[in-house]
Structure 1
Amino acid sequence: MDPDSVPQEITTLVGREVYSNNGVFVGEVEDLRLDLDRQDVTGLALHQLNRELFSGEVDASRGVIIPYRWVQAVGDVVIVNSIVERLTGPADEDEEEVAA
């Protein structure tokens, strides 16, 4: 069986560092947001944030939740779209889940 097709426990994401696809540190996964009806991960709750990315936008003690659709790869670290580097706050209702 292909090891990539073996289901992993979602708890294995907790504690992993998150980087943009440009190599910029974003934060560390603290928890996950789940949609229990769809049995799907919808977001990653991050803490230990990169203060340069989130200064003035988010209270550092609270963290953020980024949409799981931004995740490009999961391995030893989590890689997300570089859009997180341009994050200035929720632009519309679709982005509502970004600021926690």
Structure 2
Amino acid sequence: MDDTPQEITTLVGREVYSNNGVFVGEIEDIRLDLDAEVVNGLALGELNPDLFEDYDTGRRGVIVPYRWVRAVGDVVLINDVIERLKTDDDAETAIA
């Protein structure tokens, strides 16, 4: 395993999939908490229209909380966003 530190900008452009293998979108930007020096969200564009058909995302896309991220590699895996959007009471706060 390569433990070489990676620049955070290397995440931009990577595809995001749910842990069930459903394409969610592509990372366009990173939301940072500069005071705490942590990533707290991924701004996604090129969204899967089937997942977000009930949401007016406009041109802005969505911001996925970083706590949903399960793995980062050639692609990024997150918790199953379909269940999250259907059951999470504050899911609309994730829609940017």
| TM-score (norm: length of structure 2) | 0.89
The residue aligned with 2:78 is 80
CA contact (8 A) 1:26 1:53 kept: yes
Work out whether residues 45 and 64 of structure 1, in 8 Å CA contact, stay in contact via their aligned partners in 2: yes
Deviations 1:44-77 (Å, cap 9, x if unpaired)? 0000000110112132422000000100001100
- Do structure 1's residue 49 and structure 2's residue 47 form an aligned pair? yes
**Matches of 1:97 and 1:34 in 2, distance apart?**
16
Hey, what does 2:23 align to over in structure 1? 25
Structure 2 unpaired stretches of 5+: none
Q: Distance in 2 between matches of 1:33 and 1:6?
A: 22
**1:98 equivalent in structure 2:** 94
Would you identify which runs of 4 or more consecutive aligned residues in structure 1 move more than 2 Å? Answer: none
3-state secondary structure, aligned to 1:32: strand
Distance 1:60 1:26, change over 3 A: farther
SS at structure 1 position matched to 2:74: coil
| Residues 89 and 66 of structure 1: CA distance in aligned 2, closer, same or farther (over 3 Å) | farther
SS of aligned partner of 1:69: helix
What SS is found at the alignment partner of 1:52?
A: coil
Query: Which amino acid in the other structure matches residue 85 of structure 1?
Result: I
Counterpart contact for 2:15–2:27, Cα < 8 Å: yes
SS at match of 2:21: coil
How many residues align? The count is: 95
Q: Which runs of 5+ in 1 are unaligned?
A: none
TM-score, length-scaled by structure 1: 0.86
